Every structure is written in C-alpha cells, then in structure tokens.
Amino acid sequence: MTDLILHHYPMSPFSQKIRTMLGYAGIPWQSSVTKEAPPRPVLAALAGGYRKVPIAQIGADVFCDTRIIAAEIAAHCNKPELALENCSQEAQDWAQRADLDVFFACVLTGGSKKLKRKVLKSMSLISIVRFLFDRINMGRNASIKIVNPKHARPKVMAYLADLEPRFTDDFLFGSAPCHADFSTYHGLWFIRDLGERRMIDDFPKTIAWMDRMKAFGDGKFTAIKPQQSIIIARKATPRAIPEEHKKDPLIGKRVTIAPNDYAQEPSQGVLVGATPMRWIITRESKEVGTVNVHFPKQGYVLSQDI
C-alpha cells in the first residue's frame, strides 16, 4: 500500500479520530498539516470546494469525510469493523449520535483557559480571527440544529451517564474497538486531553476506556510539506474503478457533491463511480493532473450540473 497521506491539523477532533484509528490499525502514514480554516489551496486543488478536515490521499485518489477514510483504513488493515457500514445497527446509531448530536456539545464544553493557551501558542492572532469567523459562518449556515451553548454541558453529562454502563467489555461493542469507539473518543478527547477539563473524572469506566484508546497512539508517520502531496498526486494515476461501479445513470456526467449538514461547500467533477456507500468523481487541473475524489453517500447530496 502506498502510504496514506492525512491532511489534518493537531487540534482537529475529527483528525484525532483518524489518527487514533491509524495508530490502532498499524498503518504507516504521511502527515500533511493544513490550516485550521480556509483558504487551504492544496486541499482545494485536490478536493475542490470540500472544506471539512481531515482529508486523506493515496496517490491520485482523495478521500473526503472520516466515514470514507475509515473504510479505506479498514480495507487495508483487514479490520472490517473500522468501517461504519460493517458495524451493527446499534453501533452505527451510536456513532452517528456521537459524530453529529454530541460532538458540538463536546467542543462547546471543552473550552478552558488551558485550551486558550494552547490555541494562542499554536496559532497567530490573524489565524484565530479567521478561524472564529469561519466557524461562526459554518454554524449559521448549517442545516442541522447545533446545541445552544447553555445546554452543551448538560448534554455532555447526560451522554457520559449513558456511556458509563455500556463498558461491560474493553470497548463499546466488544473486546476490540469498532468505528463507534473512535467516533465516541474524539469529542471526549477534545474535553479531556485538549481542554484538560475534569468533568469526565466521575466516570471511571469511561476514563479507563479513554486510556485504552489513547494507548493506540497516532501510529508511525512521516511529516511532509503540503505541496509534496500535490507532486505525489500529479505523478500517480487514480486506481481503476470496477465495471460494476459504473452503472449509475449519471456516470460520465458533470455533477456537484456537497455535505448536507454543515460546511456545505460543493465539489464539482465528472461522476466515474458509484457504490452503495460512495460516489467517486474525477477532477482535472494543471496543478494536480487527474484525481479521483471519493465521497460517502450518507450525509451528502449529489446533483447533476446543468
């Protein structure tokens, strides 16, 4: 396997979800650190308008959304339970709750003086202003209801109370972690490890589980400059798409794909593949050559360009 490139930034919870998964999977990867907020010219060249982080890349194939990235990791390390679609319905429902309903409450609750010091140390004042302005606009334009800051802590505490008795084994749904564990971990990581808040201390089983997750580390990675990923994409060829994935009636048509929850900026390209779980569009430019960009179907909207 060509090393997976992860485009991420250190304080991104969803990036931590994937970093921890890579540590568990034991897959070597390359770390391309991007900015906390747009503009991100390298990611725009690779994925178009899509602006969520992280994004993964293997050669000339680009993977958007942690659901698709997790499916790639699952396939390459032979741990199918890391792909959300291979989990039980109960685990899928729990992961969706963690990633959408509870996540924003965790972020709002995780704020602390210690977190502010970390932000000031790692970001310039201009970057902080740009980040805050970007997140305010993202929340304002979201189609999902984001928790009121006043209700964030009670929501997290109720979630922790529900989570604690679930640990009858080492992980949420058995003796080995599945996608739901990583979805649950990253929001609580933001509270405990970044914000260094103590609100989880009264839940010993959850703390022990978090320690097991943290012990996976981030895996073995090599740092690269973002521009190197452009060169890698330009020198590579997108992987072949099986014929059975070319039966969608829109194959060969120009389409637009965008998230339907928040950060809804669209990406455009020609639809070249479709499976029950994903869409694949091809994009061409002088900068990166030809790349195939993969999106999950769940949580995204595809429309044909007129």
Residues 233-291 have pLDDT tens digits of: 999 999 999 999 999 999 999 999 999 988 889 999 999 999 999 999 999 999 999 99
- 256 versus 131: the higher-pLDDT residue is 256
Mean pLDDT of 16-21: 98
pLDDT at 121: 83
Mean pLDDT of 195-209: 96
What is the band of 296 on the pLDDT scale with cuts at 50, 70, 90? very high
pLDDT at 254: 98
User: Buried b / exposed e across 80-104, counting CB within 10 Å, b at 16+?
Assistant: ebbbbbbbeeebbebbbbbbeebbb
pLDDT at 112: 87
Report whether pLDDT(81) > 90. Answer: yes
User: Which helix (H) or strand (E) segment is 285 a member of?
Assistant: strand 278-285
What is the band of 176 on the pLDDT scale with cuts at 50, 70, 90? very high
Report whether pLDDT(1) > 60. Answer: no
Mean pLDDT of 161-172: 98
Report whether pLDDT(144) > 80. Answer: no
Task: Express as a percent the part of the chain with pLDDT over 70.
Answer: 94
pLDDT at 140: 66
Pairing of the two strands 4-8 and 29-33: parallel
pTM: 0.94
Average predicted confidence (pLDDT) for the chain: 93
Report whether pLDDT(220) > 80. Answer: yes
pLDDT at 123: 78
pLDDT at 196: 95
Q: Which one-letter amino acid corresponds to residue 199?
A: M
Q: Minimum mean pLDDT among 77-91, 122-136, 159-173: which range?
A: 122-136
- 111 versus 26: the higher-pLDDT residue is 26
CA distances 31 to 75, 204, 219, Å, are: 20, 33, 11
Q: Which residues contact 199 (CB under 8 A, 6 or more apart)?
A: 109, 153, 156, 157, 160, 191
pLDDT at 149: 86
Cβ atoms of 227 and 31 closer than 8 Å: no
Q: Which residues contact 71 (CB under 8 A, 6 or more apart)?
A: 82, 83, 84, 85, 277, 278
Number of CB atoms found within 10 A of residue 70's CB? 27
pLDDT at 124: 73
- 181 versus 108: the higher-pLDDT residue is 181
pLDDT at 66: 98
- 139 versus 164: the higher-pLDDT residue is 164
pLDDT at 128: 64
Mean pLDDT of 218-238: 97
